[in-house]
Structure 1
Amino acid sequence: MTDWNSVVDADYAVPADRDLGELVRELSRALADRDPEVRDGAPYGVLDTWLRRGVIDGRQRLELGDEMAARFGDPEVQARTFAPLVLGMIVEAGGFRAEWVDAFARWYPAEEDLRGYDEELGWLHAVAHGADLLDRFGRHAEVDPARMLELAAARLTAPTGHVLDQLEDDRLARAVAHVLTRTDLSERDATGWLDAVDAAFGADRIVTPVPAHVSNCLRTLRLLYVLADRGVRADQESDPEPLHHREAVKTRLAEVLDRIVKR
């Protein structure tokens, strides 16, 4: 097994005596490992760095992306929930296949294990990691942003008994806000995805105690309203970017939030 910490210490240089393809396959396996020290440790940084530096070329990027798309169906939760992180790295590095979007869209609203953290497995973060990939796809020129907004609505309305507790709702709100900066979105597309939330959680459909998925949705939409009002940053150093159709989005968010909490 490769000593990935040594690779990090060598400024991420590819070991001279190893085949790159074999190393990439080993990294891929590490990113699905049950041991969080393996999965979320040095291999993660090595793979990210090699993708950003172009060490992993176009063909290898596509092969790795295909493997991650297939991993959305893996029986191991940590394998499924780290697949979007790797796919996000690949897309950032210039790799893309429409089939990856399809695989992600099938998995994201259907994932049932929404734990942020597990004592044995470490960070899982299905909603947050999925939100990061939704963000990446939602700003990609070859992806319909309206589809990603509809996917966010599907995730928000999917029944669950788990209350999000590791800021996953914030990550999803920011991802949606980033998608809503797309200037090719029509006003209808920028607001229409909220119709599914309204239909699922309108005042006449909510019982008490409030179900976990309704609470998750409320918190996500409340932060999204703040981001619609103030803009969303691409990173900590950048200025807030305004959402396209800002006022229409705020108005529709307020209507939906009002209907959900109305008693």
Structure 2
Amino acid sequence: MPAATPCPPAAELAQRGDERARGEAILDMAQSERETLAIALLPCLGDPDPALRDGVTYTALSQMMRSQLIGSETLAAMKAELLGMLAAEDDPAGFARPFAALVLAEVARTDRVAPWMTPQERAGLIAAADAYLASLTDYRGFDEAEGWRHGVAHAADFLMQLSLNPEITRPQAEAILATVARKVGTPEHAYVFGESERLAAPVMYLARREIFSEADWEAWFSGLWPADDPLRENAYTSEAALTKLHNLRAFSQAIYVSAKASNEATYEPVARGAFALLNSLP
């Protein structure tokens, strides 16, 4: 349910009117006022009201970054605060961390469009995404009353923006793939809100870079459910194994369909890797 006392910066911005009116109001602000607003809005990413959290806060932050309305110093300050939110252990409502990941995707996009981060900072973003997914146990997606949480998908969007960055090195690309691998076949929760397709996106964009060989892709896909995993032994009499099977099938199908639909030779190695994984499933 919406909070009795909504996050003030988002509530004040909401009073400007609908999304178009709010966008025009942001454009009319002085640079310093916009940058102050961007920082002030960050705590509102945890507001339990989906209209304020998603419709006002995220939309406004995305507009400011995609329209290049805030400078690199403010972006750096936002990045630091968002990384703190992403790593926080205290998020009982489950909104702040997923939306911090989603806004970090927008921060990463700004660096892709006009580089301002160091290689170490990009590596730090990948490490933060990895730590978040490693600790994630809240798989809630959409709720009609509360809106989206969608931690896995939002983290996948974060990784997608990083995978699109031409400054990402091969070791960093390998780290992105290792992070994706953490959740594509989780036995803890069966995905039903498009998480598999979202996790497929950074893999597809890395494939387009052609920095991995066909053997690399074969090894990566085969490692998603190794032959010695005990869950394979009784896959159809174990809820955990069935969940893992469902998620891996959905992920590999998403990769295969996207690769084949593209009609591009670039994607053939991942298509073959995904198809081999499908054939290997119990």
TM-score of the superposition, structure 2-length normalised?
0.78
How far off its partner does 1:178 sit? 2.1
Cα distance change on mapping 1:25 and 1:173 into 2, 3 Å: same
Greater alpha carbon shift after TM alignment, 41-50 vs 3-12: 3-12
Contact 2:177 2:203 in 1 (8 A): yes
How far off its partner does 1:86 sit? 0.6
Give the equivalent residue in structure 2 for 1:195.
222
Give the equivalent residue in structure 2 for 1:9.
21
Distance 1:154 1:243 in 2: 28
Greater alpha carbon shift after TM alignment, 118-127 vs 14-23: 14-23
* Deviation digits for residues 178-200 of structure 1 (CA, Å, limit 9, x no counterpart): 22211222333333221321304
TM-score of the superposition, structure 1-length normalised?
0.83
RMSD over aligned Cα, in angstroms? 2.6
Pairing of 1:211-250 with structure 2 (within 5 A):
211-231=242-262, 242=264, 244=266, 246-250=267-271
Distance 1:17 1:248 in 2: 47
Give yes or no for the alignment of 1:159 onto 2:187: yes
How far off its partner does 1:214 sit? 2.6
- As a proportion of its length, which structure holds more helix? 2
Distance 1:17 1:186 in 2: 46
* Deviation digits for residues 124-149 of structure 1 (CA, Å, limit 9, x no counterpart): 11121111111111122333222212
Q: Which runs of 5+ in 2 are unaligned?
A: 1-7
Q: Which runs of 5+ in 1 are unaligned?
A: 232-239
* Deviation digits for residues 83-135 of structure 1 (CA, Å, limit 9, x no counterpart): 12111111211254231221111112431111111355310111211111111
What is the aligned residue count? Answer: 250
How far off its partner does 1:207 sit? 4.1
Letter in 1 for 2:268: E
Cα distance change on mapping 1:247 and 1:201 into 2, 3 Å: farther
Distance 2:161 2:62 in 1: 15
Question: Secondary structure of 2:208's match?
Answer: coil
Residue identity (%): 24
Pairing of 1:132-147 with structure 2 (within 5 A):
132-143=157-168, 144-147=172-175
Match of 1:170 among 174, 197, 205: 197
Give yes or no for the alignment of 1:256 onto 2:254: no
Pairing of 1:45-64 with structure 2 (within 5 A):
45-64=59-78
How far off its partner does 1:166 sit? 1.4
Give the equivalent residue in structure 2 for 1:235.
none
